[in-house]
Structure 1
């Protein structure tokens, strides 16, 4: 596991964060909510324990959509989706497109392909799941 810290930021730079390069998993989510929040065909995310991410600039400028234990964190100025708090607040899904530095991990599968955009074709060989993938 790496101790290297990665930088991330929103489009306008008002909100910046650091996260340890120790992601536990990464995937491409095709659900309609992820498509709407990103304006894209899917959202590449990398999951990590909540305490391994720190907002280093602009925390007061975050727009939080949701509750204390499950929410999306956007920049309040430019709207960039930076991360989602998930799994009862224990983990965050960092939107990989907001990382300035390249993480070690790469997405290993696609989820919610049952509701993917009909105009988008998945062209890689990664496993595809109709819904969510649960881990034992």
Structure 2
């Protein structure tokens, strides 16, 4: 009997200007579209599509000294210090990273499964897909 296969695929990502690159395992646990005002301000968009993964499965491969960190060690946003791209957020007491899906170069196997924080979404944006919508965080069932 053989052992079950483990996802060994690694995805690459980078900022707009290319100063910061990262590698992340294609082993995300969840993905969502966040409509909170902080994510909207950080991205300049109607929402932030993100994918969650254990923090130690994400590594900066180029430009680590060029990161601009907003927040503390256990909860912060990591941007490129040159172009300002939001690359990821450290969450859940520093144990997890929420990778901004728009910065991925490679296609991840996961897709967002919900819209969260729609209670504070931009009034000018209309959600038109069939994904579940939550006023705040996803409610466990």
TM range (shorter): over 0.9
Give 2:79's match in structure 1, choosing from 74, 79, 84. Answer: 74
Give 2:10's match in structure 1, choosing from 5, 9, 19. Answer: 5
Aligned to 1:19: 24
Summarize the alignment of residues 20-59 of structure 1 with structure 2, pairs less than 5 Å apart.
20-59=25-64
Name the SS for the 2:130 alignment partner.
coil
Q: Deviations over 1:10-48 (max 9, x none)?
A: 000000000000000000000000000000000000000
| C-alpha deviation, 1:91, in angstroms | 0.2
Matched, 1:113 2:126: no
Q: Distance in 2 between matches of 1:109 and 1:62?
A: 29
- Per the normalisation by structure 2, the TM-score is 0.94
Q: Distance in 2 between matches of 1:85 and 1:134?
A: 21
- Per the normalisation by structure 1, the TM-score is 0.98
User: How many residues in Structure 1 have an aligned counterpart in Structure 2?
Assistant: 136
Q: Distance in 2 between matches of 1:50 and 1:4?
A: 16
Q: Structure 1: 5+ residue runs without aligned partners?
A: none
Aligned to 1:93: 98
| C-alpha deviation, 1:132, in angstroms | 1.0
Matched, 1:132 2:129: no
Q: Distance in 2 between matches of 1:97 and 1:39?
A: 12
Q: Distance in 1 between matches of 2:33 and 2:139?
A: 15
| C-alpha deviation, 1:133, in angstroms | 1.7
Give every structure 1 segment of 4 or more consecutive aligned residues whose post-TM-superposition deviation is greater than 3 Å. none
Give 1:102's match in structure 2, choosing from 89, 107, 110. Answer: 107
